[in-house]
Chains A and B, each alone.
Chain A
Amino acid sequence: TQLLEQSPQFLSIQEGENLTVYCNSSSVFSSLQWYRQEPGEGPVLLVTVVTGGEVKKLKRLTFQFGDARKDSSLHITAAQPGDTGLYLCAGATNKLIFGTGTLLAVQP
């Protein structure tokens, strides 16, 4: 069974702080996706990382795929209240295997 563990589960920070969310698995994935989910809505894709060691940037968000393609991280610089939400990593095959999620709250 392929499992994806995310840490931390919950994170409450002040506006302007930096944070990192981790996604770890014992399995190798051919690609890994990060989603953001807001209350009452479905997950929305942020990025897909494919190559081991790959780094992708999306404005203040930096995504990294581990060299062994078993883990990934999401770093947010200067967090804003609008970043508040549930962040999900998902191992992608023909279906998505979602991680346990990190609930981020950014206080103004």
Chain B
Amino acid sequence: EPEVTQTPSHQVTQMGQEVILRCVPISNHLYFYWYRQILGQKVEFLVSFYNNEISEKSEIFDDQFSVERPDGSNFTLKIRSTKLEDSAMYFCASSESSGSQETQYFGPGTRLLVL
């Protein structure tokens, strides 16, 4: 069964460093998403991406964040200058189309720890 994969599974970085989280969405999916889950808190939407453009972004997704689809398979989230409060589990998701009845398939997540 096709699945969304994410690398690395864990990342530890120093405050102020740049990190790139990588995702390989399901191959025939066209819509891609990043969510994050701070320990003990709810899953929060960060950004959605379609046709090489950001479709929607949340207030959390400020100028330190960027997303890219550098090739036909990868979807990346870059955090330019990490802060302590960026420590969280980051989930990538993908879907065939958009809409309220569409299923988003989630990857296993990348646990980011900023020291």
Q: Which of B45, B91, B98, B100 contacts A43 (CB 8 A)?
A: B91
Q: How large is the interface on B (under 10, 10 to 19, 20 to 34, 35 or more residues)?
A: 20 to 34
Whether A31 sits at the interface, judged by CB under 8 Å, is yes
Q: Find chain A residues with CB under 8 A from B18 CB.
A: none
A40 B108 Cβ-Cβ under 8 A: yes
**Which chain A residues have a beta carbon within 8 Å of chain B's beta carbons?**
29-31, 40-45, 48, 50, 88, 90, 92-101
A95 B43 Cβ-Cβ under 8 A: no
Q: Which of B45, B107, B108, B109 contacts A95 (CB 8 A)?
A: B45
**Which chain B residues have a beta carbon within 8 Å of chain A's beta carbons?**
4, 33, 35, 42-45, 48, 55-56, 91, 93, 98-109
Q: Which of A41, A50, A98 contacts B108 (CB 8 A)?
A: A41
Q: Is the interface of A mostly helix, strand, loop or mixed?
A: loop
B48 A42 Cβ-Cβ under 8 A: no
CA distance A44 to B3 in the complex (A): 11
